[in-house]
Structure 1
Amino acid sequence: MKNLPILDLSIIALYLLAMVVVGVYFSRKNKSAEQFTKASGSIPGWAIGLSIYATFLSSNTFLGVPGKAFGSNWNAFVFSISMPFAAWVASKYFVPFYRKSGEISAYTHLEHRFGPWARTYTVVCFLLTQLARMGSIFFGIALSLQALIGYPMSTIMVVMGACIILYTVLGGMEAVIWTEVIQGIIKTLGALLILYLIIADMPGGVSKMIEIGVSDKKFGLGSISPNFVESTFWVVLFYGFFINLNNFGMDQNYVQRYHTAASQKEASRSLWLCVAMYVPASLLFFIIGAALYSYYQIHPEQIETVRQQVAAERLGAAATSAQISQMAASLRPEDYGDKVMPFFMVSKMPTGILGLVVSALLSAAMSTISSGMNASATVFTVDIYKRYFKPNLSDSRTLRTLHIATVVFGLFGLCTGLAMIGVKSVLDIWWQLSGIFAGGMLGLFLLGIISRQTKNAEALTATIIGIVVILWLTFSAKLPQQYEFLRNPLHTNMTIVVGTLTIFLIGLALTQSKRKRKEEPLQVVELETSM
């Protein structure tokens, strides 16, 4: 087990304590449901933008992106390239819509358009997405800290979860936003520090990193051929556009922040500030992944420890050293990419610096989890509990329900993370799960916003068909060999694209068909009258 020096442990402990103190500080103002969910609309736009940026820059980015770049190339960076397009749509249409409606929940509008089923359906999809997000982040940070301090992943998740739940329940949305402002700065500085240490210890520096990266095609963005079976440039671009449109347009994490701004203009500015910061920040993490690849190409003997560790985990406790060595030799970079940056940190970082970087890693996880807990509690309270069980709930009881729901969803997220132990790539599992759940609600939301003539029957039919398509896209790969012709040929990242378009386009087609059926009798009547 790695025993961190007392200085590093002290820095980490002070950081965790500081986050709890922030929650205690804001708890003095957190006396109403509106304060807990909206911070009374008093947060400046720049702080909201940093908060959204911190939510995006989770431990999935901090660990998953360098691991992805180490194992393959920069294909996943196309996800970030898609963000400005989604942000333009959201700032032009969605932000004004939410600010005008005044509804704290992103899903109330769907009930007005299509009925209670639409609101409940999208809420369930959102909550499942949040559990997947929180679980993957719990897992990602525990994977990293296990390599750094040696404690079991389950223990790490429980301790971290307790701290996050405490400051989120105490401080509400205002505490979430201001801690994310701090965390966004810390994690960015931590990433810059990691890159500096890699380059400083690499013979040949930046030029050598570029030379190795170009030679091994580490900077490629993917094939530009119209191929949707593999992870091409277009597959990631379409996936990124739709998932970011879902994030900016109907994810409660972001919609709730639009209401915390003092004006619509401030809310739109916060969105663009997030994009302006996240795109170069994500590029920084891809550079870190490429730098780590080049570093360990120069020092291949140093990475052998990671290869042996991964092989031992896969083979189990009964494996012999010869079996472990044989499997380790057969592993490819993509098989152990997520473990490389934690290994570099634990083996190369000096005392004191390591504690700061671990704090940055913790902040990357805590910001997104706390945001997800608050948003999930808000959606559950407004869209489920008050809608179906206690519609006339007093403000004090509403606040109490929000507190309880925050704790419950934090625990659910923790359990999801524990269930993910053993997953190969934290970024891959998050992208796959988010595509499945988000694909089922974005199409319905777009249908409700864009097609004003679409009614309940058309929307429900389109949604049912869309769900069937998403289930086929997700599970058809498990069909027996004799039914291979029924398997989904597309890449898993296309699930949200196809699912969204299925619901949206079928809804439009059914609406148009209904209009034509109503118009035809009128045309016949006019013809007979003229005769």
Structure 2
Amino acid sequence: MAVLDLFLILCYLLAMVGIGVYFSRKNKSSEQFTTASGSIPGWALGLSFYATFLSAITFLGDPGKSFGANWNPFVFSLSIPLAAIVATKWFVPFYRESGEISAYTHLEKRFGNWARTYAMVCFIMTQLARMGTIFYGIALTLNALTGIDMRLIILVAGLCIILYTVLGGMEAVIWTEVIQAVLKTLGAGMILYLITLQTPLSAIIKRAVQEDKFSLGTFDFNFQTSSFWVILGYGFFINLTNFGIDQNYIQRYHTAKNPRDAAKSIWLCVLYYVPVSFLFFFIGTALYSFYAENPALILELKQQVSIEKNIPLDALQASDYGDRVLPYFMKTQIPTGFLGLLIAALLSAGMSTMSSGMNSSATVFLKDIYLRYIDPEADAKKQFRLLLIATTCMGGLGIVFGISMIGVKSLLDVWWKLSGIFAGGMLGIFLLGFLAKKVRNFEAKIAAIIGLLLIALMSFKDNLPEALQIPLDSKMTVVVGTVSIVGIGVLIQKLRTK
């Protein structure tokens, strides 16, 4: 890489740490660290939510999928407005009125500490899976561009994120995400502009139409494959989890100045994310057309993947190297200066999600573990100190998970599978408590046990005898888990009251 590119990347990293240092002057209490003392305007919070959605998984995974297959995963983005309707009408008012920073206190009040503990553990595992996936995505790209060992990249990037998150707390997290949101959006536009300089837009669209690259999947009501309806259902329930019981989001509802700004921020997120998600999928399609017209330019990457995966070159499919196409294009086709800016955009795509994940996980540790089970009488000074330690530890675990994920085939597939496993039980128990007011602890426990059994059967069905396999696509895990827990809980309650 050119010195100019390295200089731009270094400036970006220093700027993020500088924001943490700036807000460290105010970051002196647990309230400031976790909720920025309720001082964030709605427009900034909306950009913060948008930056969390637009992670490195989107930056690399979406173009990788549309390059290797089609636009079927874009249906996930189309489901977000549906979840936003539910969130702004019911979830935001519920959490703002409760005054509880933890998303899981409500579950203990409804069903007991088992429900709170289960949801909390699922949330932390989801954050570790998310951080690991994003760390790997960043490392994959920078390794392709610089040749630096992926473990070292994950370690350095992780330490920078930990530093500014610990220094500045939630206020630093949100304002860095505002900057990162702008940078990521500009980066996506820049990439597409550079592709269309070499391949006309008309040629991209023509080839994509001819090869059905814009397909959103079959519209048949087929739930055994990745159909339009499977992805729509998966996306709706995952985004209900995001807006309804993910500490990442719930905590930031309390950073808004008022409930109206909190609800407004969700719709701003939708307004920003859906069209930019469209842009990233189109980038993958544009890259497919570009390399189809210039096959010699991608031969080096295909040869490399062929050797690494032990697949004959003539048997290699586009899906085998989809996640690596955008980094390869950046390495070989982006001019000096632009490359540094694009790498900064990619880093921002990872940093935004991980910094908020570290902060919210530390909050969960304090509120749901330490103050609940260890020292309920801890003073303000001790609570603040514990938040700093927990944030650092969570960042360290994220680094370990990132290193462990090196070598996975598809970022998006791995993330979707893991999030489906953890989300189904969380959302099901929350909705059961939120919607079914007459259901009590006993019914909820039975429903949760049966729901979790179904989630386990679907998650590991490839390792089970055919007789035990549920004939549904694995993305239906979150749908089946959620619906079964709510439905069984209500059914048992009605049977007991007869």
What displacement does 1:239 show? Answer: 0.1
Matching residue of 1:189: 186
What displacement does 1:304 show? Answer: 1.2
Matching residue of 1:210: 205
Aligned length: 498
Counterparts of 1:159-238 in structure 2 under 5 Å?
Answer: 159-202=156-199, 205-238=200-233
Q: Which runs of 5+ in 1 are unaligned?
A: 316-325, 517-531
Matching residue of 1:146: 143
Distance 1:262 1:511 in 2: 40
Matching residue of 1:510: 492
What displacement does 1:489 show? Answer: 1.9
What displacement does 1:488 show? Answer: 2.9
Matching residue of 1:328: 313
Matching residue of 1:529: none
The AA in structure 1 aligned to 2:477 is T
Answer yes or no: is the 8 Å Cα contact 1:165–1:410 preserved in 2.
yes
Bigger CA drift: 463-472 or 485-494?
Answer: 485-494
Distance 1:341 1:62 in 2: 9
Distance 2:461 2:285 in 1: 35
Choose the corresponding residue for 2:419, options 430, 434, 437: 434
The question of 1:116 aligning with 2:113 is answered: yes
TM-score by length of 1: 0.93
Question: Can you list the C-alpha shifts for 1:218-260, whole angstroms capped at 9, x where unaligned?
Answer: 0010000011111100000000000000001111111111000
Distance 1:328 1:438 in 2: 38
Choose the corresponding residue for 2:48, options 44, 48, 51: 51
The question of 1:493 aligning with 2:475 is answered: yes
Distance 2:407 2:50 in 1: 29
Q: What root-mean-square deviation, in Å, do the aligned CA atoms of Structure 1 and Structure 2 show?
A: 0.7
Matching residue of 1:357: 342
Distance 2:426 2:400 in 1: 24
SS state at 2:437 partner: coil
What displacement does 1:485 show? Answer: 2.5
What displacement does 1:107 show? Answer: 0.4
The question of 1:82 aligning with 2:79 is answered: yes
Matching residue of 2:264: 269
Distance 1:228 1:180 in 2: 37
What displacement does 1:160 show? Answer: 0.2
What displacement does 1:305 show? Answer: 1.1
| Percent of residue pairs identical | 60
What displacement does 1:313 show? Answer: 1.5
Distance 1:182 1:146 in 2: 25
What displacement does 1:328 show? Answer: 2.0
Distance 1:426 1:86 in 2: 24
SS state at 1:175 partner: helix
Matching residue of 1:384: 369
SS state at 2:213 partner: coil
What displacement does 1:476 show? Answer: 2.3
Distance 1:85 1:175 in 2: 30
TM-score by length of 2: 0.99
Choose the corresponding residue for 1:443, options 404, 416, 428: 428
Matching residue of 1:345: 330
The question of 1:396 aligning with 2:381 is answered: yes
SS state at 1:260 partner: coil
Distance 2:355 2:377 in 1: 28
What displacement does 1:380 show? Answer: 1.0
Choose the corresponding residue for 1:31, options 18, 24, 28: 28
What displacement does 1:310 show? Answer: 1.0
Question: Can you list the C-alpha shifts for 1:251-278, whole angstroms capped at 9, x where unaligned?
Answer: 1111111000011000000000000110
Question: Which one has a bigger Cα radius of gyration?
Answer: 1
Distance 2:285 2:452 in 1: 39
Matching residue of 1:292: 287
Matching residue of 1:375: 360
Distance 2:205 2:413 in 1: 26
Answer yes or no: is the 8 Å Cα contact 1:90–1:248 preserved in 2.
yes
Q: Which runs of 4+ in 1 moved over 4 A?
A: none
Choose the corresponding residue for 1:314, options 304, 309, 331: 309
Answer yes or no: is the 8 Å Cα contact 1:59–1:364 preserved in 2.
yes
Distance 1:306 1:328 in 2: 11
Answer yes or no: is the 8 Å Cα contact 1:477–1:488 preserved in 2.
no
What displacement does 1:440 show? Answer: 1.2
Distance 1:508 1:279 in 2: 35
Choose the corresponding residue for 1:459, options 410, 434, 444: 444
Distance 1:413 1:89 in 2: 31
